[in-house]
Chain A
Amino acid sequence: MNNIDPLLMLIVVPIAAGFLCLGITDRLRAVPKVVAFAITLASFAASLFVFMHKPSLSQYGSSVILLADNLSAFIALAVTFFALLITVYSFSYIDKSFGRYFGYLLMTLGSSIGVLFANDLVIMLVFWGMLAALLYLMVAMDGTPKAAAAAKKAIIIIGGTDAIMIFGIGIIWALTGTFAMDKVHLQLAGAFSYAAYFSLVIASFAKAGAMPFHSWLPDVAEDGPASVTAYLPASVDKLLGIYLLARISLDLFVANHITNAVLIIVGAVTIVLAVVIALIQHDLKRLLGYHAVSQVGYMVLGIGTGNPTGIAGGLFHMLNHAIYKSCLFLSAGSVEKKALTQDLDNLGGLAKYMPITFISFLVASLSISGIPPFNGFVSKWMIYQGIIESSASKDYLWVVWLVAAMFGSALTIASFMKLLHAVFLGRPSENLKNVREASFSMILPICVLAAACFIFGILAFKIALPLFIMPATALSPSYLGTWNPTLATSIMAVGVLIGLLVYAVMAPKRLRTVESFIGGEDARALPRISGADFYNTIKEIPLLKGIYAREEKGAMDVYNLGRKPVYALADFLKFLHNGVLPTYLVWCLLGMVGMFLFLFLR
């Protein structure tokens, strides 16, 4: 290696810089900010370079250690892009422990790149595991008991699935004799290969937040700092989780109809269940958290269709989701920072005070709901196409999955109607009168992301797909339907213009304003209508009632389900350890008698 190895640098430099930042006290708060900005900017530039010069690899001896192919280089570009935006946003969002925060942020960046470029399963596992610990540290940094509880849940679920991943990697190694990812291409046959595949799938599900490993995500979204949520669960963890899913389904294993069916079912169930639960949430960030779960369903479903259109759609949706969801979380963070509350019951009418945040939030909401011409529509449309196409391969239930996906999309609109109304529209409550737009460094990333939603939507087939997605899948999708976003957008724009024109011409010219008679009461004392309770009635629908009751009890949560048997057994063992010495001696003797019996009677 004569020249500098960009892949290695992209991993080592952020981790080393981040590690050094950890020790910087708050008196030198500018240092970690500047370092983080410089490193994330440089990383973005470097990953752009890698993206242009792919495939590039670092070879040590005869084995390829790091490898940037189309898929990983594209995701690395996205990861560094989000890291840069979040760094800018965090300048004024974070108000203490700068050294630790930016240190963890940089170390997370380096580890994420490590996961993406690793061509060795063990190296990938190492970085993957480091990310879990870093997520814990970033969420728990806040110091509140609720944040600590959310962080604990996150690391137990993600770290636990990392251990399962070790098992899967062990089987791959036992079956193929190598850890090199470019040399593994396993046929799924026999229990061992399925165990390996699903061990890795579980790890990717936990990281991305697909059901049933999702329950850490709403908790972290609610109680963690918004910038951390936007960075990890909303964008980077999604990118990495879906990257792993795509990598194992496309490269490491030969997916078959059984694995695809499992992915499709998990995807469809995740889409619908999570969005149904999201409908009734009262907390701004928790609601967004459930949507982050629901949208994973589309990506899993897309990859599960197993045809080029669906896979491309899933990957494109992954990118789009990261864009609009981090936009939503960052906006929510601004609202929380300025309004000092994230409870939907107390918010409202903020559009007047935070117009830029409102517009960006609106764009991202329309995008996540799959409204044309924004990016979320294009990827969802591709996933629908993929599902329809899968009908050709004897998947007779395709209508069910299509309906689930579309129904989920409809419920997403419904829940964002509620959210938009509750936060930005309606009559503001008294204590929100002094809310102003957040500082420039917080608005800028939000605007960039909102613009990206728009650009990736209308220029999907000109920029996003040919540049990023299609090379990554190395497959050529075919479309049953056609969607020309530029033309459609123009038509829609013309439609809106005509509507405005009609409104201008036809609207009544003379208006008379009178005060309504309310019996001499003070009008301002009238109760204001918050959007938070829009869908309370659906809680009473028989089927949904059961779902909500179960969710509140944690019945769909592997974390809670796992706790019960563990505590039952632990309490039983504790009961046995009664502190009486003769009891313990009896166990020893019983153990010895057991061994004797085994040896002499066997």
Chain B
Amino acid sequence: MEISFIAIPLASAFVVAMIANLDERIQDCIACLAALATLTLSLFAITVLSGAGSSGAIVYKVGGWVPPFGVSIVIDGLAAFMLVTVNLIALAALFYSTGYMKKYTDKWKFYALFLLLLAGINGVLVSGDVFNLYIFMEIAAIAAYALVAFGTTAEELEASFKYAVMGTVASCFIFLGIAFLYGYSSTLNMADMASVLASKGPSGALLLASVLFLMGFGLKAALAPFHAWLAYAHSSAPAPVSAMLSGVVIKVLGMYAIARIFFNVFGITPVISFMILTLAVLSMIVGSMLAFVQSDIKRMLAYSTVSQIGYVALGLGVGTPLAIFGALFHLFNHSLFKSLLFLNSGSIERVAGTRDMGKIAGILDKAPLTAYTGLVGALSICGVPPLGGFWSKFIIILACIQAGRPILALTAVVVSILTLAYYFKSYTPVLFGNVTTSKQIKAKSLFTMNAPMVALTVLVALAAFILIPVVGNVFMDGAVASLVRGISYTDVVFEALK
């Protein structure tokens, strides 16, 4: 089961490429079924992990080699939680693509690349050693570069180029960091590395690797000041790809990797926390400020992602169990509503023929479903109760106060006000208002596009149910426990091996 998170999308990518000449609908089916299969598997994994008698992790020895000698696949609570999020969004985005991607030629190339991306991020999540994590990260990144350029207009190619150059710089530094770590600890398996590092104590090499990782993964997570590529990449890609990139890719390649390495391998220290918090506050402020002055819907959403990922980093940086819960909950919520908003922007673009918010109005009259789902997404990201975004922000603010950091709480409050202001300044007028002649409305929206939007809207509206213990125990507690236990990660993994 464990390997199929990578194998299913990878195999489907090849199959889609091989049947490129067959009917499009077969390709649609294969792509959606692949995502459905991995989603089902991830739901299965999370129930197994939360079940009684679980050791807290599922470990698979590839080729039967025992770590640290062989490659291992580790699914603990955090990985399982992320897998559910990733595959849920992937399924929604793929289903949406079946209709949306008709405007491009060579749909099979899109599916092949998309499934490759999915294989890559699933691979990052289940990797038990840091080198495989890097390999899968590169697979996902290269697929993402290609997907951003999918439309092959000048704007998209430029965006892809910027993304590729900056992403590669980040990868280089990450690779350098891994090299330092390997030289120092003589192992690549994360569980093993955690115990080696704990026995060797702090050193300069570790600090060097910390900075390299923070920069590299920080860039992948679009934390300021490493965020500049995101506005180009996320706004130029086709809508479902933007949804995937903004919704999950930056979180897996960036935040998940930071959390895994700093919490579970290095062990979080106040110095690292301080640096994460600094990056978080910078991102929150810079992202929301820049979102104020955008006129392109997707560009505004992209900058808003920078600011929201700052909330996740803020929660991780504060580091108390409540803050970690808030951060992961916000990560989940943000995946839902940001991919909803990006899918929505695709529908708006299709209906209105432009992405310039100054030129669109009255979506409500022409495409009520698009308008209402967009409104719910916007209200959620603004933190309007009772939607998901409210609860996660609320918990993060509570956690900051509880941890005795009122200044951080105030920052979160101020950025929340800014978020509300820029969404209501530029985004919601697109939905309401009267259509004037200069603000033309063109086409109707499609069922295949509406269905995933409605599904995501329902999830956004019901996200608060995660706070109910019955649901939360299954879904969140394992993930929070994975981070709270810190470097005893190694014990859990070796326990699961027995």
Contact = CB atoms under 8 A, between A and B. Distances in A.
A590 B225 contact: yes
A591 B420 contact: no
Nearest to B216: A592
B169 A125 contact: no
A122 B420 CA distance: 20
A40 B325 CA distance: 40
Given A570-B290, A591-B225, A599-B271, A126 B166 contact: no
B413 A173 contact: no
Contact of A125 (B166, B212, B385): B385
Interface of A: 122, 125-130, 132-133, 136, 140, 143-145, 148, 152, 155-156, 159-160, 162-164, 166-167, 170-171, 173-174, 192, 195, 566-567, 569-571, 573-574, 577, 581, 583-585, 587-588, 590-592, 595-596, 598-600, 602
B interface, by DSSP: helix, strand, loop or mixed?
Answer: helix
B305 to A, nearest CB: 15
Interface in B374-419: 379, 382-386, 390, 393-394, 397-398, 400-402, 406, 409-410, 413-414, 416-418
Contacts of A195: 406
Given A129-B390, A152-B424, 17 more contacts: A126-B386, A156-B424, A159-B424, A160-B417, A160-B421, A163-B413, A166-B393, A166-B394, A166-B416, A569-B289, A570-B292, A584-B228, A585-B166, A588-B219, A591-B215, A591-B218, A599-B211
A590 B282 CA distance: 14
Nearest to B170: A588
A577 to B, nearest CB: 6
Q: 3 tightest CB-CB pairs across the interface, nearest first?
A: A584-B228, A160-B417, A126-B385
B384 A148 contact: no
A166 B413 contact: yes
B384 A129 contact: yes
Given A145-B433, A585-B165, A570 B413 contact: no
A295 B414 CA distance: 30
B425 interface: yes
B424 A598 contact: no
Contact of B409 (A167, A567, A592): A167
A571 B293 contact: yes
B411 to A, nearest CB: 11
A588 B215 contact: yes
Given A143-B434, A569-B289, A588 B166 contact: yes
A602 B271 contact: yes
A275 B162 CA distance: 57
B172 to A, nearest CB: 11
Identify the interface centre among B162, B212, B398, B414: most chain A CB within 10 Å of its CB: B398
A566 B293 CA distance: 10
**Most chain B beta-carbon contacts within 10 A, residue among A125, A162, A567, A600:** A162
B226 interface: yes
B289 to A, nearest CB: 4
A595 B417 contact: no
A574 B271 contact: no
Given A152-B428, A170-B409, A570 B211 contact: no
Given A144-B434, A595-B215, A133 B379 contact: yes
Contacts of B416: 163, 166
Interface in B266-286: 271, 275, 286
B166 A584 contact: yes
B210 interface: yes
Interface of B: 161-162, 165-166, 169-170, 173, 207, 210-212, 214-215, 218-219, 225-226, 228-229, 231, 271, 275, 286, 289-290, 292-293, 362, 379, 382-386, 390, 393-394, 397-398, 400-402, 406, 409-410, 413-414, 416-418, 420-421, 424-425, 428-429, 432-434
Nearest to A596: B211
A573 B137 CA distance: 30
Contacts of A133: 379, 384
19 contacts: A129-B385, A130-B384, A143-B432, A148-B429, A152-B429, A155-B420, A159-B420, A160-B421, A163-B416, A166-B394, A167-B410, A170-B398, A170-B402, A567-B292, A585-B166, A591-B226, A592-B173, A595-B214, A599-B275
A584 B229 contact: yes
A592 B384 contact: no
B162 A130 contact: no
A566 B418 CA distance: 9
B320 to A, nearest CB: 12
B421 A156 contact: yes
A195 B407 CA distance: 12
Given A145-B433, A160-B417, A592-B215, A584 B162 contact: yes
Contact of A171 (B286, B386, B401, B418): B401
A225 to B, nearest CB: 14
Contacts of B212: 592
Contacts of B225: 587-588, 590-591
A595 B211 contact: yes
Contacts of B379: 133
A173 B420 contact: no
Given A173-B401, A592-B215, A595-B215, A163 B420 contact: yes
A588 B226 contact: yes
A126 B418 CA distance: 19
B402 A174 contact: yes
A571 B293 CA distance: 7
Contacts of B409: 167, 170
Contacts of A143: 362, 432-434
A469 B226 CA distance: 59
Given A163-B417, A581-B162, A592 B424 contact: no
A138 to B, nearest CB: 12
Contact of B293 (A130, A192, A574): A574
Contacts of A132: 384
A600 to B, nearest CB: 7
A595 B293 contact: no
B166 A159 contact: no
A140 B275 CA distance: 43
A122 B385 CA distance: 10
B398 A173 contact: yes
A170 B226 contact: no
Contacts of B420: 155-156, 159-160, 163
